[in-house]
Every structure is written in structure tokens, then in C-alpha cells.
Amino acid sequence: MINPVGSDVLKPLFVYDSDAHHALLREAEGLPQVLISSQAAGNAVMMGGGYFSPLPGFMNLADAVSVAETMRMTDGRFFPVPVLCLLENVDAIQGAKRIALRDPNVEGTPVMAVMDVEAIEEVSDAQMALMTEKVYRTLDGEHPGVETFNSQGRFAVSGPIQVLSFSYFQADFPDTFRTAVEIRNEIAERGWKRVVAFQTRNPMHLAHEELCHMAMERLNCDGLVIHMLLGKLKPGDIPAPVRDASIRKMVDLYFPPNSAMVTGYGFDMLYAGPREAVLHAYFRQNMGATHFIIGRDHAGVGDYYGAFDAQTIFDEEVPEDALQIEIFKADHTAYSKKLNRVVMMCEAPDHTKEDFVLLSGTKVRELLGSGIAPPPEFSRPEVAQILMDYYQSIS
């Protein structure tokens, strides 16, 4: 199986030993407490599950700025985005050596991790702007990722953590949420050697389904891991339970047995386009995938990124020795009326726009909200029914 990034073994930060786990929870009751942001909580979940391995905890300011500029920490270790615990106020933890990090996304804000505090640093406006510009390629406050990153506070608290909770993800998505450790183990149990991963924050229509079949065939893969984001999205995006139900229905009906796993991970979307694509590849390698599909405008939002920036970054900016996972570069896929099948649009040079079945997201939502299924060339009827039920429930 492919090695994790930067190590021969995965290094999850979740405390699995029950005695040690309970001892830490008891200790946490007497420690200075801090309520962290949703983004920091997502970072803790990803470190706990091994997705960010071998990162030992939250980065200090020098490492975060270095990562933003070069995708390397000050000691040379590769990481694609800063992983920060930013706070608005640090009065309660000044001088503390160990602190308890509380979860903002669960009722009662329970402790989710214990941190050994190595530094509490104030982030200057210039440093914040530099990291924002490098990661998001814009300073526009209307960009949802920029707004979230810059609204967390200006104090960076850094140090190694021991994770005690996967937030709400295990309870809310017991059949879908999986750590990198669990996915690696299941890949091994299934006997898969070549594995392609597909990232989604949306339901999968026919073009997405066929893209996965296409990648599996061309890469000669044993299996596919459909890996959906379960954390916070932007307003208007379809909730995770609805996406989960529609994707499972598609896999049950249109994929051979033992060829596809439906899983999810607990993280808030960054909408950082190219940089987020590299982060997605990073943690897909850690979970055991040998290949990763990246299509047009991967992890993008609005018009902030070029259609293929999330692909070219791997050739132009990612250090050559950083990742072993291979990228399957995909163009937009759509149903060809000429060929009566889904194709990558770049592989049909004799087609015009009118030769494809193309529907805007707005049009699809209008159809579903009216109880009208999109054409079968766009969406499987069983998937469309689940989405119609959802849209009609909120109309």
C-alpha cells in the first residue's frame, strides 16, 4: 500500500487507549479552557484521524507563514496550507503550559483536545494578508474562505495536541464518517492495490458517476473511494445527509459489488481552489489512495480561480518529492447527444456546446424544486428522486 506522507506509518493524534483517554478528560477539567473556531475544530478532527499525518499539532506563526509562501514548514516538511488555532482572546490561557480545546460545533462545547502550549503569538495584519493571498489567491472579503479565515481572531496558539473527540461527525454520520486509519484498514481488507479517490461536496450526477468509472478503467484501479465532505459548506449547498443518501443509492445500483466505498471526512470547506486541491491530495494519500481525481475548478468558488489551476499547481508549485499519490486530471464531463454517452468535453473536439446535455446548477435546482426530474442524460432517476424530495421539503 502507498506510504503516508512523510512517514512509513500513519500518525493519528486521537487517543485510542481508553485509560489514557479518560485520564486526559479528567485532567482537562482542571486546565485553562478555550473555545476554538469551527475551522480549528475541523483541523483537530483531521489530525485526530490521521489525515494530516505526520503533523503533531497546530502550527506556530513562522511555520504557518512559511507553508503559505512555500508549502514547506521551517524545517522543510511539506504541508500545503497553514493549520492554525486562531483565537480572538487569550487572556484565559496566558502563561498556561497545557490547555483544553473546546468544540464550538457540539452542544455544551465539550473538550475535544488537550494541547501542550508552545507559543501564543499575535498575528500582524501583514502576516494575515500574506497567508490569505498565498492560500486563497485573493484578499476579497466576499470570498467565503477568506471571510472565515480572517474572522477567527489574531492570536495563534500552537503546540502538539492529543485529540479526544471527532466532534459531531461520528454521531451524526455513523455509517459514513471514517478516519484515514479506518479507510486504510478497509482498503487492505478488500485487497485493493490501486485505489482512486473522488472528492465531493455535492450530489453525484451521471457525469460524476461516469467520470469515476472512466478513471477506474483508465488507471486499472481495483477500487474507488467516494470521499465526501461532511463539514460546513456555504449557504445553499445541499446538506450532507441528502448527499450521502443520493450517493449511496447511485453506488448500490450502478457500481459492481466491492468496487466502491462511500465514506466521508469531518472538515469545513475552505474554497481555496488550487491550494485546497493539494491538501485534498495530501490526505487522500494518507488514507491509502494511490490516485486522486481532480476536475475543473476543484474546490473553487465563484470566478476566483482558472478552470484548471487546481491541476497545474501540481506541475508548477508542488515540490517534486512531496507526494506519491498520482493525479488523474479530468476535464468537465457531460452527456454527448452525438455519441449517446458521457464523455470528457476535451475529448470531443468535433462537438459544439449544443451537442452536450448541459444544465446550470440554478436550472437543476429549479427543476428539482418543482418536482421535475432532470433528463436521464444528466441524473439517474433514483438520485433525482432523493433530491426532489429534499427540495420540495424546503420549498
DSSP secondary-structure letter at 78? B
What is the reported pLDDT for 159? Answer: 98
Return the CATH architecture of domain 176-394.
Answer: 3-Layer(aba) Sandwich (3.40)
Q: Is residue 296 among the annotated active site residues?
A: no
69 phi/psi in degrees, rounded to 5 = -80, -40
Q: What is the pLDDT of residues 25-65, one digit of tens each?
A: 999 999 999 999 999 999 999 999 999 999 999 999 999 99
DSSP letters along 180-215, please? HHHHHHHHHHHT-SSEEEEEESS---HHHHHHHHHH
**Beta partners for 211?**
none
CB contact at 8 A, 164 and 114: yes
pLDDT in tens, the chain (395 residues): 899 999 999 999 999 999 999 999 999 999 999 999 999 999 999 999 999 999 999 999 999 999 999 999 999 999 999 999 999 999 999 999 999 999 999 999 999 999 999 999 999 999 999 999 999 999 999 999 999 999 999 999 999 999 999 999 999 999 999 999 999 999 999 999 999 999 998 889 999 999 999 999 999 999 999 999 988 766 777 888 898 999 999 999 999 999 999 999 999 889 999 999 999 999 999 999 999 999 988 999 989 999 999 999 999 999 989 999 999 999 989 999 999 999 999 899 999 989 998 877 778 878 888 888 899 999 999 999 999 999 888 87
288 phi/psi in degrees, rounded to 5 = 110, 0
Cβ contacts of residue 94 below 8 Å, gap of 6+?
A: 120
Virtual torsion, Cα 170, 175, 178, 183, nearest 10 deg = 160
E strand or H helix that includes residue 23: helix 18-29
Q: Is residue 72 among the annotated active site residues?
A: no
CB contact at 8 A, 264 and 247: no
- The catalytic residue among 202, 243, 248, 380 is 202
DSSP letters along 120-182, please? EEEPPHHHHHHHHHHHHS---TTSHHHHHHHTS-SEEEEEEEEE---TTHHHH-TTTB--HHH
What is the reported pLDDT for 184? Answer: 97
Angle of CA points 72, 183, 13, to nearest 5°? 50
Per domain, the residue ranges of the chain are 18-170, 176-394
DSSP letters along 204-250, please? --HHHHHHHHHHHHHHT-SEEEEEEE-S---TTSPPHHHHHHHHHHH
- The catalytic residue among 154, 194, 201, 365 is 201
CB atoms within 10 A of CB 32: 17
CA distance 184 to 197: 12
CA distance 264 to 279: 15
Amino acid at 51: Y
0.75 exceeded by pTM: yes
What is the reported pLDDT for 237? Answer: 75
Chain position carrying cell 472538515: 267
Domain 18-170 has CATH 3.10.400.10: yes
CB atoms within 10 A of CB 61: 20
Query: What does the buried/exposed string (b/e) look like for 269-300 if buried means 16 or more CB atoms within 10 Å of the residue's CB?
Result: bbbbbbbbbbbbbbbbbbbbbbbbbbbbbbbb
